[in-house]
Amino acid sequence: MNEESKAIEALKEIALEGIREQRRARRWGIFFKLMLAAYLLFSLIMVSGLLNRSGLDSTGSSSSTHTAVIDINGVIMEGAPASADLLVPSLRRAFADKHTKGIILRINSPGGSPVQAGYVNDEIRRLKKEHSDIPVYAVVADLCASGGYYIAVAADRIYADKASIVGSIGVRMDNFGFVGALQKLGVERRLYTAGTNKGMLDPFLPENPEQVDHVRHMLEVTHQQFIQVVREGRGDRLKETPDMFSGLFWTGETAVSLGLVDGLGSAGYVARELIGEENLVNFTTEKDFWQRLSDRIGTRVQSLMLQQSDPRPLLF
């Protein structure tokens, strides 16, 4: 065999070895994909098992008598875990479950949107009329302020820890003013609108007294709505003081003396001593990972696209 033939054979061998290596790589790739699929399947089975052991079936119902728990955590706003879109279905499932003996709203929230809080408050009151045999208790963890308290007053009774923060019955709207900063930088603000008040609340323009009065009137109307809901929810238990609706907040211990809270106690205490059923089943609707990721991306894009002239939402 001459040198040329040897070189050709060597190249063939190298090519064949490359093909064999690619086949081995594909086999290992298929193997690892199968292992990943098996792992995911195993994880789903384990999660299903945990749900069944917790007393919940695939429809979110319980197979034994229980106290239903719904967590209201964080800011109450659209797209958040404490949004009406998630809390309302949770409430409906808890009330509809034939094994529910009582419901606990476990609240740890600084407040948020008056609209979202109003939706939840209205739904609680509606469901209570339909299911008058199911008592509803609000239990405060660290914080139940503003919109959180707006929801809490829909419950039959409210309980808190002695160190919980309760109250802040007021309304706010946030904004900034950068007029002085622009002047120092030598920047001129140019805004073109159709509509006399379309540019109101623009942080780069001086305040207009008439527009400020309009906003304050809106805040006052919403504040009175809040006060009315508190009075309806608490009734004659409320011991009104001059600063009760001023936006101040108090410890749980002081809130009891003011009638904002009925007593001191945890969710376990309420379930055991008041409802009479220690078996807690959580009915809180939660978004899955992909929904949370999508919401974060959407929120970020939306924040980048918002115009500075858009009105800011009112906050409890």
Q: Parse the chain into domains and list their residue ranges.
A: 1-53, 60-305
Cβ neighbours, 10 Å, residue 35: 10
Residue whose structure tokens are 């055991």:
272
Which pLDDT band holds residue 308 (cuts at 50, 70, 90)? Answer: very low
CA proximity to 149, closest of 173, 171, 127: 171
Which pLDDT band holds residue 300 (cuts at 50, 70, 90)? Answer: low
Per residue in 241-298, pLDDT (tens digit) is: 999 999 999 999 999 999 999 999 999 999 999 999 999 999 998 765 555 555 555 5
Structure tokens at 151: 């929801």
CA pair distance 113, 72, nearest whole angstrom: 13
Which pLDDT band holds residue 65 (cuts at 50, 70, 90)? Answer: very high
> Is the per-residue pLDDT at 157 higher than 80?
yes
Greater model confidence, 179 or 153? 153
User: Which CATH architecture best describes the domain 60-305?
Assistant: Alpha-Beta Complex (3.90)
**Is this model's pTM higher than 0.85 or not?**
no
Quick check: helix, strand or coil at residue 207? coil
Confidence (pLDDT) at 180:
79
User: Taking a C-beta distance cutoff of 8 angstroms, is the pair 315, 112 a contact?
Assistant: yes
Q: Give 159's strand partners.
A: 139, 263
